[in-house]
Amino acid sequence: MKNSREFVDFIRSERLTSEETMISFDVVSLFTCVPTDLAVQVAHRRLENDASLPERTNLSVDDIVDLLTLCLDATFLSFRGKVYKQVHRTAMGSPVSVVVANLVIEDVEERAYRGCSHFDMAMYFWRDG
């Protein structure tokens, strides 16, 4: 789904059977809640499983992960004339935070679906826009 309006338009014509359950994953303050070590672990796993990576870059998975770690760990901000280093979680406003937040939430969703005993029914409403 691209947005909540598209979901509303879609769901109006759908009906659940007595054997189906609709679930929702609501995320609040995702950027500031993603631990950087988890983001790096998820990115590392995804990169290792990406067979097309060598076609797109000469960098190794470890090199990319090192660069990601540097980006996530080198986050500074200025407040009232003082410079601070963000030491916990990903930073709002950092372009890399968007990418790692999406990777982490996809990882959470995939693990949730794998744990669902009715996988097909859980996926019924999941439509990738």
3 located within any domain: no
52 located within any domain: yes
Owning domain of residue 103: 28-123
21 located within any domain: no
5 located within any domain: no
55 located within any domain: yes
Q: How many domains does one find in the chain?
A: 1
What number of other Cβ atoms are within 10 A of residue 63's Cβ? 11
| 89 and 114 Cβ atoms separated by less than 8 Å | no
4 located within any domain: no
| Residue 38 exposed, middle or buried by CB count within 10 Å (0-12, 13-18, 19+) | middle
Determine the Cα–Cα distance for residues 90 and 107; give it in Å rounded to an integer.
Answer: 16
Q: What is the pLDDT of residue 127?
A: 43
17 located within any domain: no
| Residue 19 exposed, middle or buried by CB count within 10 Å (0-12, 13-18, 19+) | exposed
**pLDDT digits over 55-91, tens only?**
999 999 999 999 999 988 888 888 999 998 887 788 7
User: Where does the pLDDT of residue 116 fall: very low under 50, low under 70, confident under 90, or very high at 90 and above?
Assistant: low
pLDDT exceeds cutoff 70 at 126 = no
Quote the pTM value. Answer: 0.65
54 located within any domain: yes
